[in-house]
């Protein structure tokens, strides 16, 4: 048999064709002597009609009680049927059950904790198929952007001896006779590689032992991170907006049907295709929030609630820049024109989704970086190799980190970040 994907056969030019498909039973009903079986594969869902007059009463009787997610093979003639899902159905002349499924535990109406406990089965939902196809295109578009623009993909380590974003959110790991940590970011290692390839990027998992239980926090997520020699903060902001614009454009070109099926308002994504994106300073952000009655003062970090309010002022992603130095990491370069702020930026997505990128210019002076490490209570010995980068041919450089799941959440219009991953990891969730 030559098998076709379901998406391939759901078109007018396939009407009357004899085809074979294979997949899993998504829904089923039996009316009279006919079984109407909705079969899904990775490309879509089609209704298969099994008529007892052609294939026998015994098969139709068996299909009355067949379990959801049983795997099957079906062959037959494609025909147009407006009442069927997708407008087409397969009139079967062959139908075979390959793998039985008894009492599939997800029937509809279950609570979120139950569904998360059964994530290995829940993930079969066609909804997740659409989300993961979109995420695939997001990753593909990111790689395409960097490749086209002369960046080099590299492979920094996941096990590290030092913190990038602070020790409070590190996951410790036994590493032979010493202690190591799961990486919070590839940034420090990417900085070492700019002296080799100048413009580098990586896609790696990052780990944060945060206690947060918000709709946009994960303990394990995928991090797309570029770093470039000779780049200023403004240079890197242009890279960030071009990258996001390219990702959105690619998704709208290739995954529009999936977005529509998920209920995403396409019109709200279109403004993100156009650059440049708006830019406001942290000072302006505080003024906007205060005018809206938010209890926030200069020097406070912007949390999810503050970011959500700010995003309502913009129809496309926008930058917030020049944050107070005390709320940013030790590696951020101080603004030469104002020692109270750093040359850092966040890119916030509209519609309340908030930060999707954080980055900025790195401190390239040895003595200043050494002092900032001490100021933040860190041990300079843990960063000896990182400090060495400032001793031997240091150059101005910048970079950022893009949270792949946060971008996916925004583009797909999801309510919670946990649905952007097959097996999400967050506080209280490690199974399955």
Residues ≥6 apart with Cβ < 8 Å to 140: 250
What CATH code is assigned to 6-99?
2.40.50.140
Architecture of domain 120-419: 2-Layer Sandwich (3.30)
pLDDT at 168 over 90: no
pLDDT digits (tens, 9 = 90+) for 225-266: 999 999 999 999 999 999 999 999 999 999 999 999 999 999
Where are the chain's structural domains? 6-99, 120-419
Cα–Cα distance measured from residue 344 to residue 64, given in angstroms and rounded to the nearest whole number: 62
- What mean pLDDT is predicted for residues 30-51? 97
Cα–Cα distances (Å) from 85 to 14, 49, 380, in that order, read 16, 12, 63
pLDDT at 55 over 80: yes
Percent of the chain at pLDDT > 90 equals 95
Cα–Cα distance measured from residue 232 to residue 239, given in angstroms and rounded to the nearest whole number: 11
Burial letters 181-214, b for 16+ CB under 10 A, else e: bbbbbbbbbbbbbbeebbbbbbbbebbbeeeeee
Reported pTM = 0.96
Reading the block at residue 72, the tokens are 């099957």
| Residue 190 pLDDT | 98
| Residue 304 pLDDT | 94
pLDDT digits (tens, 9 = 90+) for 149-166: 999 999 999 999 877 776
| Residue 234 pLDDT | 98
């Amino acid at each position: 048999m030559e098998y076709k994907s379901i998406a391939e056969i759901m078109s007018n030019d396939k009407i009357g064709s004899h085809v074979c498909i294979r997949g899993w039973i998504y829904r089923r009903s039996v009316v009279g002597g006919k079984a109407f079986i909705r079969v899904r594969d990775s490309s879509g869902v089609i209704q298969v009609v099994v008529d007892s007059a052609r294939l026998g009463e015994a098969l139709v009787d068996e299909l009355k009680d067949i379990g959801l997610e049983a795997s099957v093979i079906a062959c037959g003639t494609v025909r147009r049927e407006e009442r069927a899902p997708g407008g087409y159905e397969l009139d079967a002349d062959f139908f075979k059950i390959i793998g039985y499924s008894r009492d599939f535990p997800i029937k509809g109406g279950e609570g979120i904790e139950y569904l998360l406990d059964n994530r290995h089965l829940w993930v079969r939902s066609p909804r997740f198929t659409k989300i993961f196809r979109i995420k695939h295109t997001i990753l593909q578009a990111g790689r395409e952007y960097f490749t086209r623009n002369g960046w080099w993909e590299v492979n920094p380590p996941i096990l590290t001896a030092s913190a990038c974003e602070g020790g409070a959110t590190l996951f410790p790991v036994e590493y032979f006779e010493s202690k190591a940590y799961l990486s919070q970011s590839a940034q420090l290692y990417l900085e070492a590689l700019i002296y080799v390839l100048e413009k580098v990027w990586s896609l790696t998992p990052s780990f944060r032992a945060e206690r947060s239980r918000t709709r946009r926090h994960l303990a394990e997520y995928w991090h797309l991170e570029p770093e470039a020699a000779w780049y200023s903060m403004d240079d890197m902001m242009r890279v960030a907006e071009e990258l996001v614009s390219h990702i959105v454009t690619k998704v709208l070109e290739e995954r529009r049907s999936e977005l529509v099926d998920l209920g995403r308002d396409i019109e709200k994504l279109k403004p993100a295709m156009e650059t440049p994106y708006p830019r406001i300073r942290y000072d302006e952000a505080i003024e906007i929030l205060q005018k809206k009655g938010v209890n926030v003062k200069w020097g406070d970090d912007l949390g999810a609630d503050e970011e959500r309010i700010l995003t309502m002022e913009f129809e496309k992603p926008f930058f917030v820049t020049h944050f107070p130095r005390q709320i940013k990491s030790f590696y951020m370069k101080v603004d030469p024109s104002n020692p109270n702020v750093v040359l850092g930026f966040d890119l916030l997505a509209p519609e309340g989704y908030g930060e999707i990128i954080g980055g900025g210019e790195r401190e390239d002076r040895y003595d200043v970086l050494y002092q900032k490490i001490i100021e933040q209570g860190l041990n300079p010995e843990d960063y000896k190799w990182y400090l060495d980068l400032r001793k031997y041919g240091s150059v101005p450089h910048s970079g950022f980190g893009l949270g792949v799941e946060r971008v996916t959440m925004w583009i797909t219009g999801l309510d919670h970040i946990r649905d952007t991953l097959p097996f999400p990891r967050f506080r209280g969730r490690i199974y399955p």
